Chain A
Amino acid sequence: MCYSCIVQRLVYRYALLTRLAHWFGAIAVAVLISSGLQIFNAAPYLDAADRSTPARRVLSIDSPADGVGRTTVFGRSFTTTGVLGWGSDGTGGEGARAFPGWLTIPAYQDLADGRRWHFFFAWVASLAWVAWLLSSAIKGTLAEMILRPSDLRKLWPMQAYYLRLRREPPPHGTYNPLQKAAYTFVLFVLAPLIVLTGLALSPGIDAIAHPLTVLFGGRQFARLWHFVGMLLFVGFALVHIFQVVTQGFLNQMRSMISGWYRLREHESVGP
Chain B
Amino acid sequence: MKRRLFIASSIAAALAGCAPIGTALNDNPGFHHFLGLEGSLDAALMGNLPGLAREYSLADISKHFPVDSLPTPMTSTYQSLLEHEFRNYTLTVVGAVERPLRLSLAQLQRMPQQSQITRHDCVEGWSAIGAWSGVPLHRILQMARPRRDARYAIFRCMDSDDQGTPYYESLDMAQAYQPQTILALQLNGEPIRPDHGAPVRLRVPTQLGYKSAKWVREIEVLGSFSHLYGGKGGYWEDQGYEWYAGI
Contacts and interface: CB of A to CB of B under 8 A. Distances in A.
Nearest to B128: A51
B11 A210 contact: no
B1 interface: no
A8 B122 CA distance: 60
Contacts of A249: 3, 7
B42 interface: yes
Given A105-B18, A106-B23, A219-B119, A52 B126 contact: yes
A219 B123 CA distance: 12
A31 B18 CA distance: 8
Contacts of A158: none
A153 B153 CA distance: 63
B19 A207 contact: no
A18 interface: no
A51 to B, nearest CB: 4
Interface string A11-41: 0000000000000000000110011000110
A54 to B, nearest CB: 9
Interface stretch (A66-74, A108-116, A130-138, A171-179): A108-116
B19 A202 contact: no
A223 B124 CA distance: 12
A205 B207 CA distance: 10
Contacts of B102: none
B71 interface: no
Interface string B39-50: 101100010011
Given A52-B126, A90-B23, A123-B38, A207 B7 contact: no
Given A107-B20, A119-B38, A208 B51 contact: yes
A160 to B, nearest CB: 27
Q: Tell me the dominant secondary structure on chain A's binding face.
A: helix
Nearest to B55: A210
A245 B125 contact: no
A34 B21 CA distance: 12
A34 B54 contact: no
Nearest to B33: A116
Contacts of B36: 116
A220 B127 contact: yes
A204 B19 CA distance: 30
Contact of B60 (A51, A90, A103): A51
A232 interface: no
A31 B21 CA distance: 11
Interface stretch (B92-100, B135-143, B237-245): B237-245
B2 to A, nearest CB: 13
A208 B49 contact: yes
A50 B38 contact: no
Contact of A105 (B7, B26, B54, B247): B26
B207 A111 contact: no
A115 B32 contact: no
Contacts of A229: none
Contacts of B242: 115
A152 interface: no
A187 interface: no
A110 B53 CA distance: 28
B16 interface: yes
Given A105-B19, A117-B26, A210-B54, A50 B124 contact: no
B121 A219 contact: yes
Interface string A38-69: 01101100000011100000000000000000
Contacts of B49: 204, 207-208
Nearest to B208: A203
Given A51-B129, A52-B126, A117 B35 contact: yes
Contact of A50 (B7, B32, B60): B60
Interface string A211-254: 00100000110010000000000000000010001000100000
B152 to A, nearest CB: 18
A210 B20 CA distance: 39
A78 interface: no
Contacts of A34: 18-19, 22
B246 interface: yes
B67 interface: no
B186 interface: no
21 contacts: A35-B22, A50-B127, A51-B129, A105-B19, A106-B23, A107-B23, A115-B247, A116-B35, A116-B39, A120-B35, A123-B38, A205-B46, A205-B246, A206-B51, A206-B53, A207-B52, A207-B246, A208-B50, A210-B54, A220-B126, A245-B11
Given A106-B27, A208-B51, 10 more contacts: A34-B19, A43-B126, A51-B60, A104-B19, A107-B22, A111-B124, A201-B121, A203-B207, A210-B54, A219-B121
